[in-house]
């Protein structure tokens, strides 16, 4: 008998100013991260106002983590100090393993209507991989399989698998699953997640019921646009929609369980390592 994960927390992304003055919504950050190991941060940057994103994220370093950028609308121009240049367009993913260090800039550019929308997730690296060679996985929209399920649900598989269909991003040490799930109204969606792995969902369209609260004080019930739901342990996540459809990111990964020393875009194990 598979055990269904319950809801540990249900929170709302909050307005945050980042980079050179980008107005975004932070769903997960420094204060919550201890409960989301191996994940550190999730930002939702959507805006129809170019002045709110155009200043972007000029030159800055990263070390010890991975940054995963998923663009829904508009594009992000990317460049790094090693001379790499590229554009992440609608539907594309850039999975960047900063490893020992990278200095880059990320500059959002809206679509022709001036609209921008994307997500950035930070995943931690274990001590054994923090100083690995930097690596990019640039995934174009067409390389990301969209799996239609018999109940009408559609899943874009960035990493992890739906049935026999595996996403293009593989071989990551924390075994992450990154799915973009669209569930029609009045539909059940159930997805297996390895027991012991951290799992959460971030809703960005519609609303859905992600299960029962895990204990006293936990909030259950419907999660809507902008809500982050974290799950208790178990073998699977079960989602149910009512009158409205829902679209959400479903993300899981293997916890690292190491000390975290985090200063801005650099995340190591000890304060001494931040000085280097
Ligand atoms: Mn960055």
Question: Which of 28, 210, 22, 247 is CA-nearest to residue 124?
Answer: 28
Å from CA of 129 to ligand 1 middle: 18
> What is the reported pLDDT for 221?
73
Give the pLDDT confidence score for residue 32 in this predicted structure: 95
Residue 266 Cα to ligand 1 middle (Å)? 10
3 state DSSP class of 143: helix
Distances (CA, A) of 23 to 46, 132, 203: 8, 32, 19
What does the alpha-carbon distance between residue 260 and residue 61 come to, in Å, rounded to a whole number? 18
The pTM (predicted TM-score) of the whole model is 0.97
Relative to beta strand 116-124, strand 39-47 is antiparallel
DSSP secondary structure letters along 32-52:
TGGGSTTEEEEEEEEES-GGG
| Interval between CA 32 and ligand 1 midpoint (Å) | 20
Coil/strand/helix, residue 52? helix
Q: What would you report as the CA-atom Rg of the chain, rounded to the nearest whole angstrom?
A: 18
* Ligand 1 centroid distance, CA of 268 (Å): 16
CA of 105 from ligand 1 middle (Å) equals 6
Q: How far is the CA of 67 from the centre of ligand 1 (A)?
A: 7
Please give the Cα distance from 37 to 247 (Å, whole number): 24
Predicted confidence at residue 48, as pLDDT, reads: 97
pLDDT at 140: 98
Tell me the CA–centroid distance for residue 62 and ligand 1, in Å.
7
Cα 230 to averaged position of ligand 1 atoms, centre (Å): 25
Confidence at residue 65, expressed as pLDDT on a 0 to 100 scale: 98
User: Ligand 1 centre and the CA of 71: distance in Å?
Assistant: 14
Ligand 1 centroid to residue 88 C-alpha, Å: 13
Task: Check if the beta carbon of residue 21 is closer than 8 Å to that of residue 53.
Answer: no
pLDDT in tens, the chain (276 residues): 789 999 999 999 999 999 999 999 999 999 999 999 999 999 999 999 999 999 999 999 999 999 999 999 999 999 999 999 999 999 999 999 999 999 999 999 999 999 999 999 999 999 999 999 999 999 999 999 999 999 999 999 999 999 999 999 999 999 999 999 999 999 999 999 999 999 999 999 999 999 888 776 666 679 999 999 999 999 999 999 999 999 999 999 999 999 999 999 999 999 999 986
Q: Report CA(107)–ligand 1 centroid distance (Å).
A: 10
């Amino acid at each position: 008998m598979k055990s269904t994960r319950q809801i540990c927390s249900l929170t709302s992304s909050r307005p945050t100013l980042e980079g050179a003055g980008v107005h975004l919504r932070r769903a997960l950050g420094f204060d919550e991260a201890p409960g989301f190991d191996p994940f550190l941060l999730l930002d939702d940057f959507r805006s129809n106002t170019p002045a709110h994103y155009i200043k972007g994220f000029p030159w800055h370093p990263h070390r010890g983590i991975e940054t995963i950028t998923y663009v829904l609308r508009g594009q992000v121009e990317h460049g790094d100090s090693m001379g790499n240049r590229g554009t992440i367009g609608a539907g594309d993913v850039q999975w960047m393993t900063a490893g020992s260090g990278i200095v880059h800039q990320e500059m959002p550019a809206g679509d022709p209507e001036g609209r921008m929308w994307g997500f950035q997730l930070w995943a931690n690296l274990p001590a054994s991989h923090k100083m690995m060679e930097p690596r990019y996985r640039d995934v174009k929209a067409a390389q990301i399989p969209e799996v239609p399920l018999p109940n009408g649900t559609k899943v874009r598989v960035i990493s992890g698998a739906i049935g026999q269909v595996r996403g293009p991003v593989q071989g990551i040490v924390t075994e992450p699953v990154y799915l973009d799930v669209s569930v029609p109204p009045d539909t059940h969606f159930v997805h297996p997640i390895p027991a012991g792995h951290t799992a959460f969902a971030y809703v960005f369209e519609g609303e859905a019921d992600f299960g029962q609260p895990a204990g006293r004080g936990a909030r259950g019930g419907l999660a809507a646009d902008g809500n982050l739901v974290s799950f208790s342990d178990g073998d699977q996540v079960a989602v149910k929609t009512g009158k409205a459809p829902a679209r959400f990111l479903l993300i899981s990964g293997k916890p690292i369980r190491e000390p975290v020393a985090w200063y801005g875009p650099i995340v190591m194990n000890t304060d001494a390592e931040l000085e280097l």
